[in-house]
Amino acid sequence: MIITILLAGLLLILAAGIRCGFALDDLIRMAVNGIKKAVNVLIVLAIVGILTAMWRADGTIAYIVSSAAGLFKPSVLIVTIFLMNCLVSFMTGTSFGTAATMGVISMTIAGTAGVNPVISGGAVISGCFFGDRCSPLSSSAILVASVTETNLFDNIRNMLRTAAVPFALTCIIYGAIGLCGINQVDAASISDVFAKEFQLNRWMILPAVIVLGLSMLRVDVKQSMTLSIVCAVILCVVFQHRSAAEIIRIMLTGYRAGDPVAAQMINGGGLLSMKKVLMIVCMTSTYSGIFSGTGMLDGITEYVKTISQKTGRFLCIVLLSVVTSMVGCNQTIAIMMTEQLGCVLYKEQENSQRAVDLEDSAVLISALIPWSIAGAVPAATIGAPVYCLAAACYLYLIPICRLVRKKNIFPGCNN
């Protein structure tokens, strides 16, 4: 459905471009240029698909889940998933990397406890974007500091202040859901199931250590994930005794366990598992290419000023973020477009406020749009339905709490 909607939107944009006097050939060239700019994202997605399959095939996920399952109490399982993903995302600064590592592990554990994947997926994505928003290693935090000409660590201090209440509320919500009845995770039973499928030992954790360690050292995510895949291949050959042909098949189509019980917990991954999200990225990239080439969105700043006078500044930025996220379909584009269109609302000495307003709106709202790369990619990576974004409480509690605190829900407020 999302792909169909995006295709219809692309046709409308092409029609609008032709009506504005642009030739169809030029519009197609702009669309292709947009896709070319997304090549790096497409490569990362392909690597993520292969990585998640190999972590399944070499026993990494099985070992971590078997070791950690007994530590997850039913009543705090969902909030623990949220906190663990917060920790990893803060250490690595990447939502994609967190989803592909701790996110996949969390979903496996949640699945064994019978947790609805919408709820567990929402908790994972909430945790992924905790660090994506305020980690000093986060590319979005660095981008916001750059475009607003502010100090990154000053911004982080401001973000932690505005996140305190939403973070606590998120923990309370997930804690309350956990009290509503979640099955006990039987660590011994899980270990027995995985023992039939894998030869497990401490070496299995090495691919995860490589990704997390190199990410903390600011090594490019493509390089760290590729090294993790190489390590996983070696473990597959040495310990799981898989052939080259079988490894290649797993990389393409994903891992399929022989035991039906293990299959329910660990099947998935592979390059082909990312085909839908790859199509979404390609199609949404054509949007940004056409908008950039035609300048269709220029001249909107006066409308932004008018709306701000009626709604208040921050609510205007939030509404602008919703529009730019829906149109740009990408977190970076949403940040850039919101900053460009909304900067007229701030005085020169208000750069710090402009930075935290961007962090509390565009950075998070872009992940709540089902067809945006920011939300669709982590959801696809962890194998959760895209509507799990509705359960990602942390992402929308931050702007809501800001609006309530500043009373920007009432007209006439300028802060």
d(CA 415, CA 316): 10
pLDDT at 298: 65
pLDDT at 94: 75
Kindly state the average pLDDT of the residues 66-75. 70
d(CA 306, CA 135): 34
> pLDDT confidence of 164, banded at 50, 70, 90?
very high
Place of tokens 């220029």: 298
pLDDT at 373: 82
d(CA 290, CA 333): 13
pLDDT at 92: 66
pLDDT at 69: 64
Kindly state the average pLDDT of the residues 277-290. 77
> pLDDT confidence of 252, banded at 50, 70, 90?
very high
Residue 143 has pLDDT above 80, yes or no: no
pLDDT at 170: 96
Kindly state the average pLDDT of the residues 230-248. 94
d(CA 312, CA 305): 10
Residue 412 has pLDDT above 70, yes or no: no
pLDDT at 101: 73
Kindly state the average pLDDT of the residues 293-314. 80
Contacts of 193 (CB under 8 A, 6+ apart): 259, 261, 262, 265
pLDDT at 401: 93
> pLDDT confidence of 357, banded at 50, 70, 90?
very high
d(CA 365, CA 375): 9
Q: Work out the mean pLDDT of the chain and round it to a whole number.
A: 83
d(CA 217, CA 184): 37
* Token couple for 235: 């473990």
Residue 415 has pLDDT above 50, yes or no: no
- Position with higher pLDDT, 245 vs 381: 245
pLDDT at 365: 93
Instruction: Judge contact between 70 and 118, C-beta under 8 A.
Output: no
Task: Give which of 291, 282, 304, 284 is closest to 20, Cα–Cα.
Answer: 291
pLDDT at 206: 92
Contacts of 279 (CB under 8 A, 6+ apart): 3
Strand partners, 268: 255
Around Cβ 48, how many Cβ atoms within 10 Å? 28
Instruction: Judge contact between 72 and 23, C-beta under 8 A.
Output: no
> pLDDT confidence of 149, banded at 50, 70, 90?
confident
Task: Give which of 274, 284, 224 is closest to 377, Cα–Cα.
Answer: 274
Q: Could you report the per-residue pLDDT of 41-62, keeping only the tens digit for each?
A: 778 778 878 988 898 899 887 8
Contacts of 42 (CB under 8 A, 6+ apart): 278, 281, 282
Q: Could you report the per-residue pLDDT of 89-106, keeping only the tens digit for each?
A: 886 677 887 887 788 888
Kindly state the average pLDDT of the residues 228-237. 94
Kindly state the average pLDDT of the residues 195-210. 87
Residue 413 has pLDDT above 50, yes or no: no
pLDDT at 72: 67
d(CA 4, CA 11): 11
Around Cβ 198, how many Cβ atoms within 10 Å? 24
Around Cβ 215, how many Cβ atoms within 10 Å? 22
Residue 332 has pLDDT above 60, yes or no: yes
The single-letter DSSP state of residue 255 is B
Residue 179 has pLDDT above 60, yes or no: yes
Backbone angles phi, psi at 172, to 5 degrees: -65, -45
What percentage of the chain reaches a pLDDT higher than 90? 26
pLDDT at 188: 61
pLDDT at 126: 95
Q: Could you report the per-residue pLDDT of 266-279, keeping only the tens digit for each?
A: 787 888 887 877 78
Task: Give which of 137, 129, 133, 128 is closest to 92, Cα–Cα.
Answer: 137
33-45 burial by CB neighbour count: b if 16+ within 10 A, else e? Answer: bbbeebeebbebb
